[in-house]
Amino acid sequence: MIKLKSLIILFALFSIKLFAQDDLLSELEAEESSRTSYTQATFKSTRLINGHTNEILGPGVLDFRISHRFGPVNSGLGNFFGLDQGWIHIGFDYSLNHRLMIGVGRSSNQKTVDGLIKYRLYKQTEEGGKKHHWFSLTLLATADIITTPWQDTSRTNYFTSRLAYNYQAIFARKFNKNLSMQLVPTITHYNLVPLASDKNDIFSMGFGGRYKITTRLALTWEYYFVFPEQIVSWQHTNNLSVGLDIETGGHVFQLFFTNSIGMIERHFITQTNETWQGGGIHFGFNVSRVFTVSEKAKKRFDEKCTFAD
């Protein structure tokens, strides 16, 4: 009888332990399923072709980027269909954390020096988590200064007249593993415009996308529409670019055709003046190489492994 009672007590204690373990496992599974899962690699680079994407570099990562645009293909065989000419932009971008990125660059076009600050407001999430964002939103602000000599030295020229600014809200969504698209409302501000009839603030809308062909290749496209009756004193056409991304580990090669020689927002959004129909198409490429500068920042991010909103 004593042995039977002992067996009953042991069985009861064992059952209670099993139920407790089951409850604990259920709680852990529920917690795991409720965690926010963030969409990764909406785009493979911080730039789509000319313009920015929603992407931010990893914490402590430096991106060294070389961009090149050749002359127009309609310049003929004497100019080797544009390959004898060239414009270049060299830039350095650095991410301070998983939200904030800064950068500086130098362009041969008008000998322009530019800087940027880029901030991820929030990131697209997968369904089923505590939070759900249908798209990613990143904010971008840039400033640039032209360093070429003044064209008219007979008048009073001001340093501030050389400056222009650009502000963008980048709405991006990864629809599936292959297709990503973005919408980019943009304001470009000139401190000085040629005529009073020109607008100092120029409003435009950018559209772009990426379609992954293989794990290493992706088709990209980009179009910036400038709303009419804002630019009067100089010729302007909307920028259209089509390209191919080639990913090779630490490098991303971007090959494309575009009707703009400009590689910063002031140039390719508001100063494009050639058309695809007229043959004013330029072959170009971007080469990006990333380096982990701060192992400490990367380690902190890897340990956290999340994007707090």
In sequence order, what DSSP letters do the residues of 212-263 get, joined into one string? ESSSSEEEEEEEEEEPSSS--SS----EEEEEEEEEETTEEEEEEEES----
3-class secondary-structure state, position 165: strand
- d(CA 303, CA 309) in angstroms, rounded, equals 17
Q: Compute the mean pLDDT over every residue in the chain, rounded to the nearest whole number.
A: 84
Residue 177 is which amino acid?
K
Instruction: List the domains of the chain with CATH numbers.
Output: 53-304 (2.40.160.40)
pLDDT of 154 reads 81
Would you give the DSSP letter of residue 10?
A: H
> What is the percent of the chain where pLDDT is above 70?
82
| Residue 264 reports pLDDT greater than 50 | yes
pLDDT digits (tens, 9 = 90+) for 135-180: 999 999 999 999 998 888 888 888 899 999 999 999 999 999 999 9
pLDDT digits (tens, 9 = 90+) for 225-251: 999 988 887 888 999 999 999 988 767
Q: Is residue 94 within 8 Å of 59, Cβ to Cβ?
A: no
> If you average pLDDT over residues 281-296, what whole number do you get?
87
Pick 74 or 54 by higher pLDDT: 54
3-class secondary-structure state, position 32: helix
Is the pTM higher than 0.75? The answer reads yes
Instruction: Work out the angle at residue 199's Cα, subtended by the Cα atoms of residues 193 and 200, and round it to the nearest 5 degrees.
Output: 60
Q: Is residue 243 within 8 Å of 211, Cβ to Cβ?
A: no
